[in-house]
Structure 1
Amino acid sequence: MVAVSAFEDGFTALRANPILFVAGLLVGGGSQLQYVDHLIESPLISAGVSLLWLIVFPFVLGGFIGTAQTAIDGTDPSLTRFFTAARTHYLRLLFATVSFVLLVFGTAIGLGLVGFVLGIGTMALAAIHEMAAFTAGVVSLLIWLVTILLVIMFVQFYDTAIVIENESVTDAFRRSIELVRSNLKSVAGFSLAWLGLLNVFFIPDYLLQLILTDAGPADVLPIDLGIPIAVLLPFGVAVSAVGFAYCYTVYTAYYMRLIALSSAVPEST
């Protein structure tokens, strides 16, 4: 099975090439920049740091995917390979990432407007039958959520298409849609497993978010863990670094297996 093999490839590549954890550490540290405002109490600086990270992230991602590709291929990955891949694909990854965000948010806002119009009708329906109105509201919310997830699933491989196959921005999205459509069942299963695993690695990050907001962990969990921020923050960096390194190595391996599978199957005429 392609998905299972990709998870095995990721473990093998990481075990043989610890340098991948260096790139993972960059992302792990960068993911914690969102908490700068809680440490320095300056919203302006916090916004600037967050914007800077959004600009830098495609550089780190491109370098990581390129390095992971060489590790999976069995060649010798290095920091030179990391910076070469990052520099070569940066501009396309930056534009593609912005396009991806706009596409997802545009879909969410567009469907939200449709839901708002339907919500007016639901309010009128509530005056007639409350259960029917509640059901209609739940169904519309599920349609909104599923549609957004489908959009993300179909275009998710734009970054690997750029780095591994050297596609342009528009061709990268087309390539992703083509591969997902041809392997829909496999990609759906992989995406669910991959996303679930990634969220496990981000549990310390979620706990930190609870601590730094008005709701504490005790409001969500049955017990107060009593973990100080000074411990949880570096621990979150380390765990997210490992999680990113493993999950995105698996992600790269899965894409490489998908394109190998698609090239092995002759196109129908």
Structure 2
Amino acid sequence: MVTVFAFKDGFTALRANPILLVAGLLVGVGSQLQYVDHLIESPLLSAGASLAWLIVFPFVLGGFIGTARAAIEGADASLTHFFTAARTHYLRLLLATVLFVILVLGTAIGFGLIGFVLGIGTMALAAIHEMAAFGAGVISLLIWLVSILVVIMFVQFYDAAIVIENQSVTDAFRRSIGLVRSNLKSVAGFSLAWLVLLNVFFIPEYLLQLTMTDAVPTDILSMDLGIPFAVLLPIGIALSAVGFAYFYTVYTAFYMRLIAASPGTLDSL
């Protein structure tokens, strides 16, 4: 039920505070920087734009979570509040985001190496039984993917812990792990629902992005969308703005409900 209430909280807060859409628009614009190479001919400038967005994103994320919290609580959700929260938590969020990326990449590389070793054994097994080798390869890939998802699930609330509870970088990860461990069933259900619905929402953008790839659209969709990039870009920005505004408001609401039910998790670690 916590998951259902969080989605309702997100809708209510977004409807009552359109300012969240403005904050979401900042994310929408930034997320489309990955396609800047379609507008300019400089790979260096394109890479610089993407790197700049990675540095700016923690600022926008901190401001949004702080504003979403105010909206959910019925307090002043304004752009002033957005920039105040963003400035206050930026450095910790930037460092925590770097640590988050290192943890995820470390997990991916670590289990990838294990998969590589198992893959050598799988090739030997293929000489004996091809179906068994195929099954072993699939299982190895699933273990790799699940391991990454589990790590992400346990540390996913580090940003909310920093903004909402003013935790330090290390304590934010400890808080996230503690909350997930104490509410494993609820968090697993929420994470699955949140991820699936978020990606369903972005299906139109994913389809549009196919026209920006080197692949021929007719090879993938059996049709040519025939939509120019100048039209695709604002559509992508709009979808990202609305999607981010709603789903990260839901994410904030869910975290607030978690800490209300588990206020002492950090102290128990």
Q: Shorter-normalised TM-score: what interval?
A: over 0.9
Trace 1:179-258 onto structure 2 (pairs within 5 A).
Answer: 179-258=179-258
Between the aligned partners of 2:168 and 2:263, the Cα distance in structure 1 is 19
CA distances 1:142-167 after superposition (whole Å, capped 9, x unpaired): 00001100000000000000000000
* Alignment: residue pair count: 267
Structure 1 unaligned regions, length at least 5: none
Q: Is the 8 A contact 2:96 2:169 kept in 1?
A: yes
Between the aligned partners of 1:193 and 1:152, the Cα distance in structure 2 is 15
Partner of residue 172, structure 2: 172
Between the aligned partners of 1:241 and 1:201, the Cα distance in structure 2 is 12
Asked if 1:23 is matched to 2:13, the reply is: no
Residue type at the aligned position of 2:71: A
In the TM superposition, residue 220 of structure 1 has moved relative to its aligned partner by 2.2
Residue type at the aligned position of 1:112: G
Trace 1:102-141 onto structure 2 (pairs within 5 A).
Answer: 102-141=102-141
CA distances 1:69-89 after superposition (whole Å, capped 9, x unpaired): 000001121111101100000
Q: Which secondary structure does the structure 1 equivalent of 2:263 belong to?
A: helix
Q: Which secondary structure does the structure 2 equivalent of 1:76 belong to?
A: coil
Between the aligned partners of 2:83 and 2:139, the Cα distance in structure 1 is 47
Structure 2 CA distance for partners of 1:107 and 1:115, relative to 1, 3 Å = same
Between the aligned partners of 1:249 and 1:219, the Cα distance in structure 2 is 37
Partner of residue 98, structure 1: 98
Q: Is the 8 A contact 1:207 1:217 kept in 2?
A: no
Residue type at the aligned position of 1:154: F
Partner of residue 2, structure 1: 2
In the TM superposition, residue 224 of structure 1 has moved relative to its aligned partner by 2.8
In the TM superposition, residue 221 of structure 1 has moved relative to its aligned partner by 2.1
Q: Is the 8 A contact 2:211 2:225 kept in 1?
A: no
Residue type at the aligned position of 2:109: I
Between the aligned partners of 1:98 and 1:26, the Cα distance in structure 2 is 21
Between the aligned partners of 2:132 and 2:186, the Cα distance in structure 1 is 36
Q: Is the 8 A contact 1:25 1:237 kept in 2?
A: yes
In the TM superposition, residue 227 of structure 1 has moved relative to its aligned partner by 2.4
Between the aligned partners of 1:78 and 1:211, the Cα distance in structure 2 is 37
In the TM superposition, residue 251 of structure 1 has moved relative to its aligned partner by 0.3
Partner of residue 35, structure 1: 35
Residue type at the aligned position of 1:85: A
Residue type at the aligned position of 2:85: A
Partner of residue 144, structure 2: 144
In the TM superposition, residue 264 of structure 1 has moved relative to its aligned partner by 8.9
Trace 1:26-105 onto structure 2 (pairs within 5 A).
Answer: 26-105=26-105
CA distances 1:113-158 after superposition (whole Å, capped 9, x unpaired): 1111111111111111111111100000000001100000000000
CA RMSD of aligned residues (A): 1.6
Between the aligned partners of 2:252 and 2:66, the Cα distance in structure 1 is 9
Between the aligned partners of 1:91 and 1:5, the Cα distance in structure 2 is 32
Between the aligned partners of 1:167 and 1:96, the Cα distance in structure 2 is 11
Residue type at the aligned position of 2:89: H
Q: Is the 8 A contact 1:13 1:71 kept in 2?
A: yes
Deviates more, 1:228-237 or 1:48-57: 228-237
Aligned-residue identity in percent: 82
Residue type at the aligned position of 2:146: V
Deviates more, 1:59-68 or 1:221-230: 221-230
In the TM superposition, residue 222 of structure 1 has moved relative to its aligned partner by 3.6
The normalised TM-score by structure 1 is 0.95
Residue type at the aligned position of 2:158: Y
Q: Which runs of 4+ in 1 moved over 3 A?
A: none
